[in-house]
């Protein structure tokens, strides 16, 4: 080897978009989870992962990739199915005694909370969820799942049994380093307020739910 050959740098991770911060216990109604905190320098956003049991043993991990929905997750909104999906995912993980939930801070399919209020106003006036985002100048879905790679790598998770009804999420996850070993549906009760929203998710976003009139 020539003495002019530059030293080989250690391989840097392909995705360095997240910094791991710390972990703690998070007791919930269903189980005592571990909560792991991550910081995204590019946006200043803070993301969270909950884990239960040994998720780093190489076996497929029951998992939910959940994008923040303040109205559905915390304020009991019936306009969407996010809160019940979050609850069911945590319940299922608790029942298995092993699993992971990544909580990504990309509110309103990525448009943010204030624009979500604007989008809901347009929906109050007759637009559907996709039309409302488009009238505000946004794509139907701006979510970015590449954040999952550094989180999953940090947690030692190699393979997912992914709980979702969203084929776009499954397709996006296939572009990541993690293996999707199984697709686990999350079937949520309809109510009079989320019925049209769920039907739009089926007809315009391809969600794998049963249409209902
Ligand atoms: Zn929601």
Cβ contact 190:166 at 8 Å: no
3-class state of residue 120 by DSSP: helix
C-alpha 5 to ligand 1 mean position (Å)? 54
Could you say which of 73, 143, 149, 153 is catalytic? 143
| In a domain? residue 132 | no
Please check if 45 is assigned to a binding site.
no
| In a domain? residue 56 | yes
How many residues would you count in the chain?
213
| In a domain? residue 35 | yes
Q: Would you give per-residue pLDDT tens digits along the chain (213 residues)?
A: 444 555 544 444 444 489 999 999 999 999 999 999 999 998 899 999 999 999 999 999 999 999 999 999 999 999 988 999 999 999 999 999 999 999 999 987 778 899 999 999 999 999 998 899 899 998 877 778 889 999 999 999 999 999 998 888 888 887 888 999 999 988 776 777 777 777 777 777 677 766 554
Rounded CA gap, 211 and 203, in Å?
A: 9
Region of residue 156 (phi > 0: left; psi between -120 and 50: alpha; otherwise: beta)? left
| In a domain? residue 137 | no
Please check if 164 is assigned to a binding site.
yes
Residue 193, pLDDT score: 73
Rounded CA gap, 162 and 185, in Å?
A: 8
| In a domain? residue 1 | no
| DSSP assignment of 115-179 | HHHHHHHHHHTT--HHHHHHHTT--S-----TTHHHHHHHHT--EEEEE-S-HHHHHHHHTSSSE
Structural domain for 28, as ranges: 19-106+143-205
Residue 104, pLDDT score: 95
3-class state of residue 109 by DSSP: helix
Count of domains for the chain: 1
Please check if 154 is assigned to a binding site.
no
C-alpha 20 to ligand 1 mean position (Å)? 26
Please check if 137 is assigned to a binding site.
no
- Known catalytic residue at 141: yes
- Known catalytic residue at 168: no
**Could you tell me the pTM of the whole model?**
0.83
Q: Which CATH number characterizes residue 52's domain? A: 3.40.50.10990
User: Position of tokens 């929906």?
Assistant: 123
C-alpha 114 to ligand 1 mean position (Å)? 14
| In a domain? residue 10 | no
Rounded CA gap, 14 and 96, in Å?
A: 32
Rounded CA gap, 159 and 157, in Å?
A: 6
């Amino acid at each position: 080897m020539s003495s002019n050959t530059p030293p080989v740098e250690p391989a840097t991770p392909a995705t360095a978009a997240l910094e791991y911060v710390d972990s703690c216990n998070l007791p919930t109604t269903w189980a005592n989870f571990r909560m792991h905190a991550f910081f995204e320098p590019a946006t200043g956003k803070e993301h969270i992962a909950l884990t239960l049991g040994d998720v780093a043993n190489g076996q497929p991990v029951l998992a939910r990739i959940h994008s923040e929905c303040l109205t559905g997750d915390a304020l009991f909104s019936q306009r969407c199915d996010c809160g019940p999906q979050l609850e069911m995912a945590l319940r299922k993980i608790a029942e298995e005694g092993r699993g992971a939930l990544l909580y990504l801070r990309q509110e309103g399919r990525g448009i943010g909370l204030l624009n979500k209020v604007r989008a809901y106003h347009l929906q109050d006036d007759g637009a559907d969820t996709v039309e409302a985002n488009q009238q505000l100048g946004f794509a139907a879905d701006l979510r970015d799942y590449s954040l999952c790679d550094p989180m999953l790598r940090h947690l030692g998770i190699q393979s997912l049994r992914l709980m979702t009804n969203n084929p776009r999420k499954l397709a996006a996850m296939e572009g990541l380093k993690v293996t999707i070993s199984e697709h686990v549906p999350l079937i949520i009760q309809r109510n009079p307020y989320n019925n049209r929203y769920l039907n739009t998710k089926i007809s315009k976003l391809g969600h794998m739910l049963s249409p209902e009139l």
